[in-house]
């Protein structure tokens, strides 16, 4: 408890899923939290649930006006912004031959330009304070390729590269920038059919931990990076994926020791 005492955080895509888990955890650890999202009813309800330590501000991450408004909400209510969690994102499945420009533009504008705008609008506040942390939520697909997800994968690689560029640019001002790379997570995006029980982990047999992740597990990774415990970490990428990017298990060769693949 209290790992973020005295700090103020903005969490985008904060009304549900990983964003909501992050907002709850940060508040429990002593932070004041501003929840930004286009889903207003859930965002308002979450802010009310958290109480005096939270505010909600409507945020379409593609809108500079919305970014200016959420930064103003945070600074007017709580004085400053110490942490930005760029979590808002969308996914889109398509074969490359069926790609539509409007779909690509939507995904890239939210996942990439939205993240850029967050950094643009928060950098002056953090620069003035001489400190701050920006955590960009990328994906396991920002560390590898993924069949059927060309637009989303491209966007998450872009977030990974953007993170490193921002770490170089903002580091001399006392601002740390890192990326978090979730694997499969039990959210509306990661579990769209709402599977439960034995069905929940179906398809994860080849991931080393053999299960889907929970939103709170991603939130705890962000908590560490946002805390002073990570004060000398910047430009880093943290995979929170059950070992997914460590490699895939292969069929065991006849007579080979257990666990030894092709």
- Number of helices followed by number of strands (H, E) in the chain: 7, 7
Mean pLDDT for 7-16 is 98
* φ, ψ of residue 149 in degrees (nearest 5): -130, 50
The catalytically annotated residue of 152, 204, 248, 249 is: 152
Distance of alpha carbon 172 from the chain centroid? 24
Active site residue 249: no
Contact 19, 88 (CB under 8 A): yes
The per-residue pLDDT for range 176-229, each reduced to its tens digit, is: 999 999 999 999 888 988 999 989 999 898 899 999 999 999 999 999 999 999
* pLDDT number for residue 255: 46
List, in order of start, the domains of the chain with CATH numbers: 8-246 (3.40.50.720)
Looking at residue 207, what DSSP letter applies?
S
* pLDDT number for residue 248: 59
Answer whether residue 145 shows pLDDT above 80: yes
Nearest to 89 by CA among 68, 72, 114, 69: 114
* pLDDT number for residue 257: 46
Give CA–CA dist 187/165, Å, rounded. 29
Nearest to 17 by CA among 190, 187, 222: 187
* Continuous segment of H or E residues that includes residue 134: strand 132-137
Answer whether residue 139 shows pLDDT above 70: yes
Answer whether residue 262 shows pLDDT above 60: no
The per-residue pLDDT for range 37-83, each reduced to its tens digit, is: 999 999 999 999 999 999 999 999 999 999 999 999 999 999 999 99
* pLDDT number for residue 258: 46
Contact 107, 151 (CB under 8 A): yes
Pairing verdict, β 132-137 and 175-182: parallel
Nearest to 149 by CA among 93, 191, 90, 203: 93
CB-based contacts of 57-64 (< 8 A; 24+ apart in sequence): 59/12, 59/88, 61/12, 61/13, 61/36, 61/86, 61/88, 61/110, 61/113, 61/114, 61/115, 61/117, 61/118, 62/109, 62/110, 62/113, 62/114, 62/117, 64/117, 64/121
């Amino acid at each position: 408890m209290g790992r973020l005492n005295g700090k103020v955080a903005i969490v985008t895509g904060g009304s549900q899923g990983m964003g909501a888990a992050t907002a709850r955890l940060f508040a429990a650890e002593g932070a004041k939290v501003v929840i930004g999202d286009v889903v207003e009813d859930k965002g308002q309800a979450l802010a009310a649930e958290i109480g005096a330590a939270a505010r909600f501000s409507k945020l379409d991450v593609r809108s500079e006006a919305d970014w200016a408004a959420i930064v103003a909400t945070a600074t007017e209510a709580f004085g400053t912004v110490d942490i930005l969690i760029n979590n808002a994102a969308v996914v889109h499945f398509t074969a490359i031959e069926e790609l539509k420009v409007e779909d690509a533009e939507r995904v890239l504008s939210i996942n990439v330009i939205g993240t850029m705008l967050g950094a643009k609008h928060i950098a002056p506040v953090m620069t003035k304070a001489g400190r701050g942390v920006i955590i960009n939520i990328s994906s396991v697909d920002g560390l590898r390729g993924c069949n059927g997800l060309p637009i989303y994968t491209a966007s998450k690689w872009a977030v990974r590269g953007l993170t490193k560029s921002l770490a170089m640019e903002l580091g001399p001002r006392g601002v740390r920038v890192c990326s978090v790379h979730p694997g499969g997570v039990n959210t509306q995006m990661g579990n769209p059919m709402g599977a439960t029980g034995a069905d929940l982990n179906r398809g994860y047999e080849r991931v080393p931990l053999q299960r889907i992740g929970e939103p709170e597990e991603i939130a705890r990774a962000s908590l560490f990076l946002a805390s002073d415990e990570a004060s000398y970490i910047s430009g880093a990428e943290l995979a929170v994926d059950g070992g997914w990017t460590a490699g895939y298990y292969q069929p065991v060769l006849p007579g080979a020791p257990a666990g030894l693949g092709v």
